[in-house]
Structure 1
Amino acid sequence: MPVEALELNDSKGYTALNTAARFGNTEAVEILVAKHSDLLHIRNEDDWLPLHRAAQSAHKDTLSYLLMVTNPDCKTKKPIDNDLEHMAPFEADSGVELLVLVIASRFYDIALDLVRQYPQVAKSRFQHRCALGEMAKKVEQSAESCERDDILNPTRQKVKAMLWRVLELLVPPIKHIQHIREQKLKHNQALQLVKYLCEQVRSLEDLKAYRSLAKRPLLVAAKLGIHEIIEEIVNSIPRAILAKDSEDRNIFQLAVIKRHENVFNLLYQMGEYKQYITRLEDDNGNTLLHLVGNQAPIEKLNVVPGAALQIQRELQWFKEVEKFVNPSYIEKQNDDGETPSTVFTNKHMDLVVEGEKWMKNRATSCTIAATLITAIVFIAAIIVPGGNNNTSGLPIFSTEKAFIVFVVSDAIALFMSTTSLLIFLSILTSRYAEEDFLYILPHRLIIGFVTLFLSIITMIVAFSSTLCLMLGDKNSWLLSLVVTSACLPISSFMLLQFPLLVDLVSSTYGPGIFGKQSSRSFY
């Protein structure tokens, strides 16, 4: 079979090499390239080389091999167009499209190598797409994101990588730890790539060109909440901070609409300029406070459990934005004649109703539990274990240590359950104004949960001490079994209700989601 026969293609222009690259068959790719290296430079009907197909299909090993063997200076051809010559693999549109496909597959290390070898593709566009714009959509946020000092200090990054290798040799491989390391490494590579792309865009002499390359990625990053991208772009191109979308909204207005606190928190790192940028209005006359008055996107609301905590988070956003807005703008009307507070009330009416239902359901359930505990421990206090001495009238076990434990724990259980019952009744009879969801109602619910939890614990302790009095030391194994079983209701409450209590305490008394993220100044 002549090697030229390998250039045969199907109706879409796919050669055997193009198909092998599509499915990531690296072994077949190596054999085909060894037989006929010209296959590397034959495009299909989409103008894609095997390189592009491997990148689009996210086959990293295949792509790495093709990058190694593809001649960057060789002109490519397209057999279905009568072998007309096309541009070289890494030039102009071909190079930009390849880079965009590599970034879309999250191969940031390969993309970084590409832009370093061919800087021109970093500052070019193809069909309204560019590398920086693609990165604005791909950089992932994670709780374990790398420190900025490591990103800007390659030496420290290499030292950390070396330490990771040593740790892997000393400690048996743990998949979760390896996954965290891979995510950190990918995040690190992504930010390095963004920094390099910004440097290349800044090097353009055409002011209009580099602003257009930076504007869309900046707005996309604001909508997606990628504050690292925004910081890098504004650091490289300071005037890009004035970029606005088709509705005349800047990055902070978009961040407020989408509820991206990590972007909004950049205001804390700004100087006096924040007084100007927070006064800007969109094309409907909406200030920053009007925009935060709209309800958050459903995906951001669902991050917070329960409608009551969701409306609390919305109120926290409104109060935080209010701190940055000029006092004269607090009652300013938009083009529809609405003030920010009016917008908030109108847009959150349904959520307030849902929050009221959520609060009442929790309070009703807990009221029933608190009532039962109150009745049980009250009866136990009257009918003491062992009965009373007919002569003195004192309890028979009054001198036993276990009886003292019973009396104290039963009394605490009674007081706590009664307090819990009153707290939950106050929740049920509350007026449920939207301001109450910010602090008053969550505060009451926390106290109610804590007192109910303490009443359950002390009730179980009282019950266990009663068993100690009845069984004594003769049936220690039975006593141990019963006491161990007594931990079951406590554990059940912890598993079912404690996460909600933690969320309530964190949301109401915690440090919150707002504040300065870095000592690095922004604009």
Structure 2
Amino acid sequence: MYLINRMSRLQLGLQNSNGDTVLSIAAIVGNTRAAIMIVNKQPNLPQIGNRDGGVPLLEAARHGQKEMISYLLEVNGDYLQAAEYSADKPGVFFMNLLVLAGFYDLALELVQSHPPLARVEYYGGESLLSAMASKPSAFPSGIQLDFWHRLIHCFPPMKGIRDVKLMHHQTLQLIKCLCTEIACLDYEKASMMLRRPFLLAAELGIYEIMEEIMESFPHAIWFSDNENHNLFHIAVMNRQENVFNLLYQISDYKHRLLVSEDIFGNNILHLAGKLAPQHRLNLISGAALQMQYELRWFKEVEKIVQLACKEDKNSEGRTPAMLFTEEHKRLVKEGEKWMKDTASSCTVAAALIATVIFAAAITVPGGNNNDDVSDALSLFSSVAAILMFLSILTARYAEADFLYSLPKRLIFGLVTLFLSITSMMVAFSATLYLVFCNRKAWMLIPVGALACLPISLFVSLQFPLLVDMIYSTYKPRFFGKKSKCMLH
């Protein structure tokens, strides 16, 4: 700050070898206070670009300096004039940088004040809307929460969660504004500009964009890619249930979409029979649950198609069921191995618990009255767990077994194993306190803490898997109408 006060206006206007002024450097590092002093002393610097044509405003956007962007927009507001509304102008490039940086509130303000920016198409068919469609994390549908984060979201919103919700609201407002502006163009131009983001949103599962596009431009429902895959084909191939559920918000037109085939003769049930993309399967814990997930998709699509579609053959002469079996051979084997490995490991743990508890129960006739019940509960639950895990090891492992039969057995086995561990620790802690602590109340704290350690380890390591299995096996249908709004 001292140097800025000492420098003359001429010195402030000097440029380095790249053409950057001192204001550009301040914009890059986000020093807003220095920028204010520089502009007050040399007001024309915001309009001076470097050798690449990057004015300080562009450099601030390129380096994600939001506070600096807001300030430079105030002093360089004519940067986004009508003359800049073409693909080769830096004003459009600046808007794209805002989207890439996640500054949707600033982008929304600028689009509202300069509507033509929403209708500009970049080179290669890109637009602000297609740039938004490539950022799933900006939308509620693009956030994948694990068990612990889902648990946190059940409590009253914290500041971080409120900020995320505010960002989502701004994003949806921006999408609505973009779709409305593009829909005002002539039919051919609007169709061309909306097709790409619409199909990209279907692939990535951003149903919010699709809803806004269909509301602004109803013809979008008929968009398809080069292989004649419509929005529901794409949703099924990429296992995007949020997009697939839009089916229930569409009137009789959906039947024409469901019976259509791609250029390879595949109907929508054939596409459900294909193996999901690996990045979608990676969101599911374990090969067995991945196989269950695939079966649920196939069964759900099978419910809504006509009977003839179930026996249709594609260009390779395969029915949907044949294609499903062929595509999922490897996953069935991996699911069997995963189930058996899990059951084997848990059987060893349950057998060890049963052995220890049985020996402890018969060491002193009658045992200690305070832990008789805990010993018995631990023994019975561990034996039940052993039997259930053995039934998993001897199962036939057909495709259909992964849907309900095998997951139910593993769920019951894990629950009883957890119950046996908890009961064993209760029995051991009670005996330890009665025998060695001479009924000293203060000893309850360290004994209880030590007893909670293995239980806590089990909960942190295995409980999320158990919750995922219960959720995927017993949860209500994740397919169905999610909104009362009719789209077409």
If the length of structure 2 is used for normalisation, what is the TM-score? 0.85
Contact 2:265 2:314 in 1 (8 A): yes
What are the Cα deviations for residues 255-311 of structure 1, in whole angstroms up to 9, with x where unaligned? 222222111111122222222212222221222222222222222222221111111
Between the aligned partners of 1:437 and 1:353, the Cα distance in structure 2 is 11
Contact 1:40 1:50 in 2 (8 A): yes
CA distance 1:69–1:376, change in 2 (3 Å):
closer
Between the aligned partners of 1:341 and 1:423, the Cα distance in structure 2 is 31
Pairwise CA RMSD: 3.3
Residue of structure 2 equivalent to 1:67 = 73
Residue of structure 1 equivalent to 2:298 = 318
What are the Cα deviations for residues 435-482 of structure 1, in whole angstroms up to 9, with x where unaligned? 111111111111112222333334444555666776797666668865
Q: What letter is aligned with 1:518?
A: S
What are the Cα deviations for residues 19-62 of structure 1, in whole angstroms up to 9, with x where unaligned? 54344343454455445544444455555443333222222222
Which one of 174, 180, 184 corresponds to residue 165 of structure 2? 184
Residue of structure 1 equivalent to 2:114 = 118
Residue of structure 2 equivalent to 1:194 = 175
Say which is worse superposed, 325-334 or 229-238, in terms of deviation.
325-334
Residues 1:359 and 2:351 aligned together: no
Tell me, what secondary structure is at the counterpart of 2:158? helix
Residue of structure 2 equivalent to 1:434 = 399
CA distance 1:42–1:492, change in 2 (3 Å):
closer
1:188 to partner: Cα distance: 0.8
1:178 to partner: Cα distance: 2.4
Between the aligned partners of 1:482 and 1:6, the Cα distance in structure 2 is 70
Between the aligned partners of 2:282 and 2:75, the Cα distance in structure 1 is 49
1:423 to partner: Cα distance: 1.4
Residue of structure 1 equivalent to 2:255 = 275
Residue of structure 2 equivalent to 1:328 = 308
Residues 1:513 and 2:467 aligned together: no
Which one of 252, 257, 260 corresponds to residue 240 of structure 2? 260
CA distance 1:208–1:413, change in 2 (3 Å):
same
Which one of 173, 183, 195 corresponds to residue 215 of structure 1? 195
Between the aligned partners of 1:74 and 1:323, the Cα distance in structure 2 is 52
Q: What letter is aligned with 1:338?
A: R
Contact 1:225 1:260 in 2 (8 A): yes
The alignment of Structure 1 onto Structure 2 pairs a total of residues equal to 467
What are the Cα deviations for residues 128-174 of structure 1, in whole angstroms up to 9, with x where unaligned? 321111121235233799xxxxxxxxxxxxxxxxxxxxxxxxxxxx9
Structure 2 counterparts to residues 287-436 of structure 1, below 5 A = 287-381=267-361, 383=362, 385=364, 387=365, 402-403=368-369, 406-436=371-401
Residue of structure 2 equivalent to 1:103 = 99
Between the aligned partners of 1:372 and 1:497, the Cα distance in structure 2 is 18
Contact 1:55 1:101 in 2 (8 A): yes
1:369 to partner: Cα distance: 2.5
Residue of structure 2 equivalent to 1:134 = 131
1:66 to partner: Cα distance: 2.1
1:325 to partner: Cα distance: 1.9
Contact 2:107 2:174 in 1 (8 A): yes
CA distance 1:6–1:211, change in 2 (3 Å):
farther
Tell me, what secondary structure is at the counterpart of 1:353? helix
1:500 to partner: Cα distance: 2.0
The structure with the larger Rg is: 1
Tell me, what secondary structure is at the counterpart of 1:191? helix
Which one of 195, 201, 216 corresponds to residue 236 of structure 1? 216
Say which is worse superposed, 456-465 or 3-12, in terms of deviation.
3-12
Between the aligned partners of 1:479 and 1:180, the Cα distance in structure 2 is 38
Between the aligned partners of 1:120 and 1:478, the Cα distance in structure 2 is 73
Tell me, what secondary structure is at the counterpart of 1:278? helix
1:347 to partner: Cα distance: 1.9
Residues 1:50 and 2:46 aligned together: no
Say which is worse superposed, 435-444 or 359-368, in terms of deviation.
359-368
Q: What letter is aligned with 1:326?
A: Q
1:358 to partner: Cα distance: 1.0
Contact 1:41 1:49 in 2 (8 A): yes
What are the Cα deviations for residues 315-366 of structure 1, in whole angstroms up to 9, with x where unaligned? 1111122222222111211112222222222222222111111111111122
Q: What letter is aligned with 2:344?
A: T
Give me the identity figure in percent.
48
Between the aligned partners of 1:363 and 1:229, the Cα distance in structure 2 is 43
CA distance 1:73–1:380, change in 2 (3 Å):
closer
